[in-house]
Chains A and B, each alone.
Chain A
């Protein structure tokens, strides 16, 4: 059973640029959630995808967008990067949408915005 994988591991961008982060969900999982973890903070929910549709969103601006593909892998896109976007971005998958299943997290992508 393959766990959740994310790419790239690290990324450095400059303010104003755009970035795409990728996530492969655990085998058999159709729900993917994305979280932003700033240094010294707990993860903050960005959004969730279930069967290729966004079905939940946290308090993040529209420049944070995503996709889920038929194989349930997912992308997080961030436009017009700001310095405060520097964080660890975590992807998590679960077998169904509903909140009662534990989510399985990937190792994260460390984004640095200069």
Chain B
């Protein structure tokens, strides 16, 4: 079975400082990894994904994430946080051979990011 862990319920960072939101995963075989962001009373918005290739992937709004196979991690990063980045962030994994279908996304429990002035 595939699973995702986001060990921090909340991350606080000052505007202008770098931010990291942590994610580790468990899956048999090669994973497809995703980050989504959710604003209050809104659906999820796609930020970035890792499928194959370069371990550092860049996404929307200046976010990037690094795939680390040995540590089974896919941490989300941004060099300089903005107050408008404050939202709920979800890491997700899918796998072609997953029970339930290859399109099945398994999400973590989410990390609330709070960026303060």
Contact = CB atoms under 8 A, between A and B. Distances in A.
A98 B102 contact: yes
B interface: dominant SS: loop
Contact of A102 (B43, B49, B108, B109): B49
B44 interface: yes
Interface in B68-117: 90, 92, 94-96, 98, 100-110
B32 A55 contact: no
A48 interface: yes
Interface in B1-55: 4, 32, 34, 36, 41-46, 49, 51
Contacts of B103: 31, 33, 48, 50, 56, 94, 97-99, 103
Interface residues of B, number: 29
A106 interface: yes
Interface string A89-106: 010101001111011111
Interface residues of A, number: 31
A43 B44 contact: yes
Contacts of A70: none
Interface string A32-45: 01010000111111
Given A45-B100, A57-B101, A104 B46 contact: yes
B42 A107 contact: yes
Contacts of A98: 96, 102-103
A109 B45 CA distance: 16
Nearest to A32: B103
A31 to B, nearest CB: 6
Contacts of B104: 33, 45, 48, 56, 58, 99
Nearest to B41: A107
Given A4-B43, A90-B44, A42 B110 contact: yes
Interface in A41-64: 41-45, 47-48, 50, 55-58
Interface of A: 4, 31, 33, 35, 40-45, 47-48, 50, 55-58, 90, 92, 94, 97-100, 102-108
